[in-house]
Amino acid sequence: MIIVLKSGSTQSDIDYIKEKLHAKGLKVHVSQGEERTIIGAIGDERILREAALAAYPAVEAVLPILKPFKLASRDFHKEDTRIKVGDAIIGSDDVIVIAGPCSVETREGLLEVARSVKKSGAKLLRGGAFKPRSSPYAFQGLGEEGLKYLAEARDETGLKIVTELMDPRDAELVDKYADIIQIGARNMSNFNLLKEVGKMRKPVLLKRGLSSTVKEWLMSAEYILDEGNMEVILCERGVRTFETETRNTLDLSSVPLVQSMSHLPIIVDPSHAVGRADLVAPMSMAAVAAGTDGLLIEVHENPEEALCDGPQSLRLGDFASLMKSLRSLAKALGREL
Ligand code: PEP
Ligand code: MN
């Protein structure tokens, strides 16, 4: 918050305001210009409003300091950002569903999933070729071979592709195949990687970090926007809490919260949030009720055999049923799916 004092204010005016701010536990910076004195107050701005400083006679104006995530903020851009990928518009009245396996494993398996989710109404296909695994001994992905299978699935079904980039050294390669570049939760604070995708001219799906606040997440988006790439899609995928029955805790409040703070679209990934297939459908419904712009759902042709995230992956038939329910819900809410 910046407090601008009227010209002719005295030292006792300044001291009075400083005292008020210090009493609220705020840090105070005084800048005395030739004509004006400006007092910067650093701390919780809600406390400042209570201080009702604007009513003090020596105060000319009380102005908020522009948010640290300027470009991502609604102050900067009032209208919702809409991102067009193929014939899907993310950030519109349509609920956009992105579905597919955690990782690309086999050509046949991927094609089977792609055909099936397309039939069920998914608009985009997901699949990792570079996997951020917690263990270095776990399956790390097929690399370029996986990207080629994704491209083949796109050619056949028309579904656009979402795939993860983990390393700036693979940026050119992933850019060659992907329609949306995913930045995983573990890389939300990998600022060099964020700058790299900021230089690309391709939508970026930015997952929320494992233990990141909404503000930190928006600051990460800011890194991408600051490089000139304005097409950022935020993805809520749950955060770590004390709960152990679910893999993470799905913070659905972040959907309306982000929509109030930012113009960027936000989608929800219930699969990584809950970590178990039986909870994916109810949380998908809840996410649509909360106003999400879309969903990212893991689907596998044979979850028992999946090399990655099998327990949270939906079977093809279960995904088809979920899509039916989602369609009815979207309709009731005046949206399309
Ligand atoms: C994924 O989408 O497969 C993934 C690894 O997700 P997250 O980064 O959210 O854990
Ligand atoms: Mn996964």
Tokens 């300027």 sit at which residue? 70
Between the alpha carbon of residue 208 and those of residues 52, 84, 150, 245, 279, the distances in Å are 35, 22, 24, 20, 20
- pLDDT score, position 47: 72
- Which ligand number lies closest to the CA of residue 313? 2
- Which ligand number lies closest to the CA of residue 248? 1
- pLDDT score, position 45: 65
Helix (H, G, I), strand (E, B) or coil at 192: helix
- pLDDT score, position 52: 74
- 261 CA → ligand 2 middle, Å: 28
- pLDDT score, position 50: 55
Query: 337 lies in a domain?
Result: no
Q: Are 50 and 165 within one domain?
A: no
Q: Are 87 and 147 within one domain?
A: yes
- 79 CA → ligand 1 middle, Å: 29
Residue 278 burial (C-beta neighbours within 10 Å; 0-12, 13-18, 19+)? exposed
Query: 72 lies in a domain?
Result: no
CATH code at position 55: 3.30.70.1140
- pLDDT score, position 1: 74
Query: 68 lies in a domain?
Result: no
Q: Are 26 and 129 within one domain?
A: no
Query: 230 lies in a domain?
Result: yes
> By the 8 A CB rule, do 247 and 273 touch?
yes
- 313 CA → ligand 2 middle, Å: 8
Cα dihedral: 325, 330, 334, 336 (round 10): -110
- pLDDT score, position 55: 85
Average pLDDT per run of 10 along the chain, which is 337 residues long?
A: 85 91 82 75 68 83 76 83 97 98 98 98 98 92 97 98 97 98 98 98 98 97 94 98 98 98 97 98 98 98 97 98 98 97
Q: Are 148 and 93 within one domain?
A: yes
- Pocket residues: Cβ below 6 A from ligand 1: 102, 128, 132, 184-186, 207, 237, 272
Closest residue by CA, ligand 1 atom 6: 184
What total number of domains does the chain contain? Answer: 2
CATH code at position 244: 3.20.20.70
**Domain range holding 280?**
83-332
Q: Are 170 and 316 within one domain?
A: yes
Note the Cα 164 to chain centre separation in Å: 14
The pTM score is: 0.82
Task: Point out the ligand 1 atom lying closest to the alpha carbon of residue 182.
Answer: 2
> By the 8 A CB rule, do 182 and 164 touch?
yes
Task: Point out the ligand 1 atom lying closest to the alpha carbon of residue 102.
Answer: 3
Q: Which residue type sits at 301? A: E
